[in-house]
Structure 1
């Protein structure tokens, strides 16, 4: 029976000895099925336990067709197994899972939002609330209520019941199981079916901290941590903050203001850079026009974006009565633009069509301006010659 498994009888138990029922292999992974086990298998949003059997590392634990399979680094080849779980990992999972129960119940109590899914990750825990919009005040209220329950050190009870004994009126959510039903109960706060491992009291959860939220499939995903993970996150963020204030040469309490000033200065520099770039393009356009031959300007470049070619061509076209033909090779791609100044009658479509036929690329435009590109072995100068010939 489920309730007789060691990890349910005593979630604080870390060692055990039992008979090996059988060994097998699945997908190249050896596994062992034991008479009983302390190893919790992945399920209900909670990851599996880690540890060793007869000194062999257990890399995964899954329940398959009612049996718990311990996937191993190597076969046991034994009739009896002695096991030991990684207690730090087990207790962390106990803290996070119990914390999820508390926070979920707190959201129901303070905001009326039910939890529709739960994920216990290696660093962050998340729940999906049945709402597409949760405001900051609701997050703060749920977090405060959850930590109140933790500080009250209420007992966390587990109870096995049948369907007939189940009080469905108290359930936080409807159960999808029948037969052996395991309840996890925080008196006068939460009454819910759950197959995970939990500590004996809410106080052992330590604390809960919500880290942030995101929209996910019309729901709100809430990211949070409990217990030791709160300290881990605090240490991590404190380290980042210390590094940031060191770079900013500002005390911690002035870090936000220093960053704002830095961003403002950066925006001003970007604006000035854009203005100077426009001026340089203007000078370059003038130089190109000065080198025009028979009313046509040609220029080939390496590693110059199509956006810059467009700006340069438009700038030159707006300054004189000439046809502007520009091409640039960017890696395997060759890109081009063609523009005409005021008073020029030639259609740039002719130049564009000739270029596209030569390189087999794609492009478009009108009589006054065209652009295009494609992968080709031709040089930029060759494409420019093709475009010029089409206009003669």
Structure 2
């Protein structure tokens, strides 16, 4: 029976002696052992498995397969018989804190806002619940977290009961149970009653605390990320370490890191605007220099110029010319880009130019009758592409 398993009889039990009833290799080549009874919790109900040691061999996974609990081992057992085993208590207790915290937070969202939980995941660093609502406000998150921590602080007892299907009617369940036999209820008096097969502490105070970290959209649901117990301190320590580095980089006290960051961002924004203005002035000077050539076709090669810069320079140059065709090419060492554009006083169709040049550089591009642009592989020197573009300009309209 399920209720006879050691992890249900006493979730605080960390070591035990039992008999090996089977040791073998599964179809994936993983050695495993089946024990007469076990304190190792198998993965299930959103809670990960325990780890530890059986006869000094590391237990790396625990699963229930066809009603038997398989303890997957780092190496095969050499013999059967009576063995000693020990679970990793820090991992077990962490899972007890996180899982029970999930029960409490889920119940808080139901009690306050009638937002049921549709899924739960206990990860290595964070815990998540998916709420059946598309939006949860900051105020709602704060209220649920506050209620959850109040229940934890009250140190309410946590009862764990085995009941029959007939006895269920005596309890107000948060949701319907999914089994018909050996039904196990986890009860926080006057707050939450839920069918659950996980391991839990004997009182809410042992959870320590609960902190909601973030939310994200999950289709029509909202995923809430949170941590409990020791993980709250882990998160606090990680955030403190990160902010300490930021504060040192900003030469500011830790408590003023946000203010110093805001000032830095404002300064950066100002410098970006000044740089943009300086670049515009530089493009104006370059355009004037190109237009001063007084030729119909103005051809120039650049290094590491963006397509946006080529397009701007082309427009600025043509604005200073009565009749001109600008051919600009940029070479970044790996690819070539070009812009070919004409003044409105001319009638040549520049699409002819790109239709000839793009296949030559295995490129892609587009444009209109007056302006085309594109880019492709460096199949030829930039000078050769520039000459090809000029030769491809139609002589007549």
TM (norm. structure 2) is 0.94
The answer to whether 1:182 aligns with 2:198 is: no
Secondary structure, counterpart of 1:166 in structure 2: helix
Secondary structure, counterpart of 1:175 in structure 2: coil
Deviation for aligned residue 1:335: 2.0
Deviation for aligned residue 1:342: 4.3
Deviation for aligned residue 1:169: 5.8
Cα deviation digits, residues 134-164 of structure 1 (max 9, x gap): 1111111111111111111111111111212
The residue correspondences of 1:43-192 to structure 2 (distance < 5 A) are 43-80=44-81, 81-167=83-169, 170-192=172-194
Structure 1: distance between partners of 2:30 and 2:331: 52
Work out which of the residue numbers 245, 248, 252 in structure 2 matches 1:246: 248
Give the aligned partner of residue 310 of structure 1.
311
Structure 1: distance between partners of 2:203 and 2:41: 20
Deviation for aligned residue 1:290: 3.5
TM (norm. structure 1) is 0.95
The residue correspondences of 1:282-297 to structure 2 (distance < 5 A) are 282-291=284-293, 294-297=295-298
Structure 2: distance between partners of 1:302 and 1:59: 56
Cα deviation digits, residues 58-94 of structure 1 (max 9, x gap): 1111112211111111111221332111100100100
Bigger mean CA deviation after superposition, 246-255 or 40-49: 246-255
In structure 2, do the counterparts of structure 1 residues 97 and 311 end up closer, same or farther at CA, with 3 Å as the change threshold? same
In structure 2, do the counterparts of structure 1 residues 386 and 268 end up closer, same or farther at CA, with 3 Å as the change threshold? same
2:297·2:327 contact (CA, 8 Å) conserved in 1? yes
Deviation for aligned residue 1:57: 1.2
Deviation for aligned residue 1:344: 2.8
Cα RMSD between the aligned structures? 1.7
Give the aligned partner of residue 10 of structure 1.
10
* Number of residue pairs aligned between Structure 1 and Structure 2: 391
The answer to whether 1:41 aligns with 2:42 is: yes
Structure 2: distance between partners of 1:206 and 1:258: 34
Bigger mean CA deviation after superposition, 282-291 or 94-103: 282-291
* Structure 1 unmatched runs, 5+: none
Structure 1: distance between partners of 2:159 and 2:337: 70
Secondary structure, counterpart of 2:97 in structure 1: helix
Structure 2: distance between partners of 1:184 and 1:127: 18
Structure 2: distance between partners of 1:323 and 1:359: 21
Deviation for aligned residue 1:301: 3.0
